[in-house]
Amino acid sequence: MNWVNYFRRATASKPDRIDLQRGLAVSLIRAKRPTEAVSAWKRVLEMDEATPADKVELADAYIRNDQWDKAEETLHSVPPTHETFRRYRLEAMIADGKQQWQKADSFYETAVGLTTTPSGVMNNWGYSKLSRGDYAGAEKLFVQAIRQDSDLFTAKNNLVLARGAQGNYTLPVVPMSQGERAQLLYTLGLSAVKRGDVETGKGLFRDAIETHPQYFEAAVRSLSALENNAAN
> Which residue ranges make up each domain of the chain?
1-78, 85-157, 176-232
> What's the DSSP call for residue 171?
P
Identify the CA nearest to 98 among candidates 132, 53, 56, 62: 132
Same fold, 1-78 and 85-157: yes
pLDDT at 69: 97
What are the C-alpha distances in Å from 64 to residues 7, 31, 36, 38? Answer: 21, 12, 11, 9
pLDDT at 231: 63
* Multiple choice CATH, 1-78, 1.10.1670.10, 1.10.260.40, 3.40.50.2300, 1.25.40.10: 1.25.40.10
pTM of the model: 0.88
Q: Across the 232 residues of the chain, what is the mean pLDDT of every consecutive 10-residue run? A: 93 96 97 97 97 98 97 97 97 96 97 96 97 96 97 97 96 94 95 94 94 80 84 60
- Gap between the Cα atoms of 217 and 226, Å rounded: 15
Q: What value does the mean pLDDT of the chain take?
A: 95
82, 87, 92, 94: CA torsion to nearest 10:
-110
| Architecture of the domain delimited by 85-157 | Alpha Horseshoe (1.25)
- Contacts by residues 169-176 (CB-CB < 8 Å, ≥ 24 positions apart): 169/197, 169/200, 169/204, 172/143, 174/143, 174/146, 174/150, 175/146, 175/150
